[in-house]
Amino acid sequence: MKKYINLGSKDTRSGFGAGLSELGESNPNVVALCADLTGSLKMNAFADAHPDRFFQVGIAEANMMGIAAGLTIGGKIPFTGTFANFSTGRVYDQIRQSIAYSGKNVKICASHSGLTLGEDGATHQILEDIGLMKMLPGMTVINTCDFNQTKAATIAIAEYDGPVYLRFGRPKVANFTPEDQKFEIGKALKLQEGTDVTIAATGHLVWKALEAAEELAAAGIQAEVLNYHTIKPLDEEALLESVAKTGALVSAEEHQMAGGLGESLAGVLARKHPCPQEFVAVQDSFGESGTPEQLLLKYGLSTDAIVKAAKAAIARK
Amino acid sequence: MTEIKDLQRICSQTRRDIVRMVHAVQSGHPGGSLGCVEYFVALYHHMMEHNAENFDPDGKNEDLFFLSNGHISPVYYSVLSRAGYFPLEELSSFRKLNTRLQGHPTTHEGLPGIRIASGSLGQGMSVAIGAALTKKLGQDSHLVYSLHGDGELQEGQIWEAAMYASAKKVDNLIATVDANGQQIDGATDDVLPMGSIEAKFKAFGWETLNIEKGNDLTSVIEGLEQAKALTGKGKPVAVILKTDMGAGVDFMAGTHKWHGIPPNDEQLELALGQLEETLGDY
């Protein structure tokens, strides 16, 4: 099986910051807005290099979304930055009306998503954002897995004309995707070939899925691993091609089961290729304070949880 | 400049359009629409530099207008159409299936003249600020206008936007408040008294200006000209436009009751009897 090497752990939010800085140089229409979290979002470099194209809006996320929508009128490409909780749930109506329904070319960039923001606890650990955003007509939803992919995605979404939700996180995680890999919106990546079970993972759980595949291989189970960095539009073809071989699916994500990647995939299976599916996701609960690893373990999002889910899915074939 | 007399003729026809549109589909918001006729006509036929024939959603090198209180779409549609943005006969499709003239304005159906969806209140000032910032970045000296209901000021986002606009010196923005003192459930002073709107904007660092006779065309034009003269001096400009909800139709005027109620056949005839057909009905 293919061997993946951690090139050195980094936070995905820094990938966003690096991508934004590059865009600052390459695309004069890119502008950025932040609601008092410039350091947390790693937007400092862009703000320092392009003060005229950086808008500090203060702690006023609703206003930020509206200003971003307005900035597109005249051709700017606004990137908003705040925590995932304040990028979605807090401003859902603003996004729905002024951005999604109005078809505005705004890039909603959200850090500190999921449980792995850690000690701040459940008020800040949004686990519903993918669901909220994928329900909006015309919204593209992306959840990247490491530094390199987040940087590549940040650059790619500037080229795409339409509203995008880009979700990333706080902790340092394995950086393993190739630095030069071009990001293709809506195209799932096959990371491991396998015949017994498909593991479709997104975000931080992609690395865990690779770890799980190694453990499964040691037990004689060949898992195919798909990196679903784009939840919407969903790559149906990649899923169907994989489950046609494996006949069983595990979805893995740092999100509620309700509204997540797993449900999107289940919808495809139900319509086109019914087969067993297990869901590695948060089961209708809020998070709590703790370290990222403790939380992933407690809420059933660990490597071990993916291994168990894979075995359960295979057993139900 | 178009003569006041001519603009008054447009106002009368716009009022006819409004009552006929909401009557035809037996829904919509005539009260606020009638109250803002002079503002819209002054804006689109006198104040703004804009290109109705070749609508450009980006609006570069044009003045822009954003309607934040989207429910008064009848006046917006009538004025846009009569300014040349889209065919007059399309007004008859208002609120009907497959129309571009949705109950609340939207870009979704591609109606020329509309640059943002509005309806859910409180969002338009932020959008106007964003558009004003883009104008500044592009060295475009044209202005951005926005209109808000007074009841709409109860939405918190308005004050986020108001704080930002003055702090960041968005001085190419003229935000007008339709101060008719009414909202759906009654008078604003009964529903949620807001005190002095002008004092609030002043406290937020805005330049303010009152137009006491918001249904007198000359007063509205003079007031907007003064507002324009206040732009470019480091502060956003708030215009408090005192209007009568339902103005121009005696039984609709001065009450919240016609906020979202259409006239029946008899009431339509009564209303049309008070409004001269000057430019031909759609």
The answer, for A14 touching chain B at a CB cutoff of 8 Å, is: no
- Kindly state whether residue A92 falls inside one of the protein's structural domains: yes
Q: Is B173 on the interface with A (CB under 8 A)?
A: no
Q: Is A29 on the interface with B (CB under 8 A)?
A: no
Residue A82 is assigned to a structural domain of this protein:
yes
Report how far apart, in Å, the C-alpha atoms of A277 and of each of A252, A300, A301, B33 are: 11, 16, 16, 55
Alpha-carbon Rg for chain A in angstroms: 19
For residue range B51-79, list pLDDT tens digits in order: 999 999 999 999 999 999 999 999 999 99
Q: Is A139 on the interface with B (CB under 8 A)?
A: no
Q: Is the peptide bond before A28 cis (omega within 30 degrees of 0)?
A: no
The reply to whether A24 touches chain B by the CB within 8 Å rule is no
B236 close to B146: Cβ distance less than 8 angstroms: no
pLDDT band at residue B254 using 50, 70 and 90 as cut-offs = confident
In chain B, which among 51-80 make CB contacts under 8 A with chain A? 57-60, 64, 66
Domain membership flag for residue A178: no
Q: Are residues A223 and A83 in the same domain?
A: no
Q: What is the DSSP code string of A152-177?
A: HHHHHHHHS-S-EEEE--SSEE---S
Based on the domain organization, do A126 and A198 belong to the same domain?
A: no
Do A196 and A168 fall into the same domain?
A: no
Q: Which of A145, A173, A201 is the last residue of a domain?
A: A173
If you measure CA to CA, which chain A residue comes closest to B109?
A102
A20 and A161 both lie in a single domain: yes
The verdict on A226 and A153 lying in the same domain is no
A62 vs B: CB within 8 A = yes
Phi-psi group of B26: left, alpha or beta (phi > 0 → left; psi -120 to 50 → alpha; rest → beta): left
Q: In this structure, is residue A2 part of a structural domain?
A: no
- The answer to whether the Cβ–Cβ distance between A73 and B125 falls below 8 Å is no
What pLDDT does A186 receive? Answer: 98
Q: What's phi and psi for B20, nearest 5 deg?
A: -70, -40
CA distance, residue B262 to nearest chain A CA (Å):
26
**CB A65 within 8 Å of CB A80:** yes
- Annotate B50-94 with three-state secondary structure: CCCCCCCCCCCCCCEEEECCHHHHHHHHHHHHHHCCCCHHHHHHC
Q: Residue A256: which domain range? A: 189-315
CB proximity B168 to A under 8 Å: yes
User: Could you tell me which chain A residue has the CA closest to the CA of B114?
Assistant: A102
Q: Which of B130, B138, B157 sits opposite A70 (nearest CB)?
A: B130
Q: Is B129 in Cβ contact with A70 (below 8 Å)?
A: yes
Give the pLDDT of residue B1: 52
Chain B residues inside the 8 Å CB shell of A104: 116
Verify whether the Cβ–Cβ distance A102 to B107 is below 8 Å.
yes
Q: What CATH number did the domain enclosing A254 receive?
A: 3.40.50.920
Q: Find residue A197's DSSP bridge partners.
A: A223
**A206 shares a domain with A244:** yes
The size of chain A, in residues, is: 317
Q: Shortest Cα distance from A287 to chain B (angstroms)?
A: 29
* E-assigned strand segments in A24-149: 30-34, 54-56, 77-83, 107-111, 140-143
Contact B106 A58 (CB under 8 A): no
Q: Given CB atoms, is A76 within the 8 Å cutoff of chain B?
A: yes
Same domain? For A165 and A22 the reply is yes
Confidence of residue B88 (pLDDT cuts 50, 70, 90): very high
In a domain? residue B278: no
Whether residue A204 sits in one domain with residue A110? no
* Interchain CB distance below 8 Å, B135 and A52: no
CATH number where B255 lies = 3.40.50.970
Query: Does residue B145 sit within a domain?
Result: yes
- Whether residue A69 and residue B127 make contact (CB cut-off 8 A), yes or no, is yes
> Is residue A283 located within the same domain as residue A143?
no
**How many structural domains is chain B composed of?**
1
Is B24 domain-assigned?
yes
The domain containing residue B12 runs over which residues? 4-273
Residue B163 domain flag: yes
Considering CB atoms only, which of B115, B123, B134 is closest to A94? Answer: B123
Residue B106 Cα, gap to closest chain A Cα (Å):
7
Burial class (CB in 10 A: 0-12, 13-18, 19+), B27: middle
Contacts of A65 in chain B (CB under 8 A): 126
Q: Which residue of B has its CA nearest to A75?
A: B58
Q: Does A240 touch chain B (CB under 8 A)?
A: no
Assess: ipTM above 0.85.
Answer: yes
Looking at chain B, the number of H-run helices and the number of E-run strands are 10, 7
Min Cα distance A161 → chain B (Å) is 14
Residues 6+ apart with CB under 8 A from A7: A148, A175, A176, A179
- Interval A142-193: pLDDT, tens: 999 999 999 999 999 999 999 999 999 999 999 999 999 999 999 999 999 9
Q: Is B130 on the interface with A (CB under 8 A)?
A: yes
Q: Which residue among B59, B60, B123 places its CB closest to the CB of A98? A: B123
In this structure, the answer to whether residues A193 and A309 fall within a common structural domain is yes
pLDDT of residue B2: 66
Residue B132 C-alpha, separation from nearest chain A C-alpha, in angstroms: 8
Cross-chain residue pair B161–A94, CB shorter than 8 Å: no
Q: Which residue matches tokens 């603009």?
A: B7
Cβ contact A17:A43 at 8 Å: yes
Kindly determine whether residue B58 and residue A74, on different chains, have CB atoms separated by under 8 Å.
Answer: yes
Q: Is residue A182 part of a domain?
A: no
The domain tally of chain A equals 2
Give a yes or no: residue A1 inside a domain: no
> What is the pLDDT averaged over residues A45-72?
98
Q: Are residues A148 and A210 in the same domain?
A: no
* A69 in contact with B, Cβ within 8 Å: yes
Is the CB of A97 inside 8 Å of chain B's CB atoms? Answer: yes
Q: Please indicate, yes or no, if residue B135 is contained in any of the structural domains.
A: yes
Q: Which residues in A lie closer than 8 A to residue B126 (C-beta atoms)? A: 62-67, 69-70, 94, 98
Chain B nearest-CA distance from A78, in A, is 10
Residue B16 has pLDDT above 80, yes or no: yes
Which residues on B lie below 8 Å from A73 (Cβ)?
Answer: 57-59, 64, 115-116, 127, 130-131, 134
Q: Is the pLDDT of residue A287 over 70?
A: yes
Tens digit of each residue's pLDDT (9 = 90 or more) over A105-155: 999 999 999 999 999 999 999 999 999 999 999 999 999 999 999 999 999
CA–CA separation, A42 and A21 (whole Å): 10
Instruction: Tell me if chain B has a CB within 8 Å of the CB of A78.
Output: yes
The verdict on A269 and A138 lying in the same domain is no
- Mean pLDDT across chain A, nearest whole number? 98
CATH number of the domain that A74 lies in? Answer: 3.40.50.970
Between helix B124-137 and helix A61-71 the angle, nearest 10°, is 50
| pLDDT of residue A308 exceeding 60 | yes
In a domain, B204, yes or no: yes
Q: Classify residue B280: in a domain, yes or no.
A: no
Flag if A70 and B127 touch (Cβ within 8 Å): yes
Whether residue B282 is contained in a domain is answered as no
Contact B126 A72 (CB under 8 A): no
Domain limit, last residue, from A112, A143, A173: A173
**Cβ–Cβ of A103/B108 closer than 8 Å?**
yes
Closest by Cβ to A76, choosing from B123, B127, B137 = B137
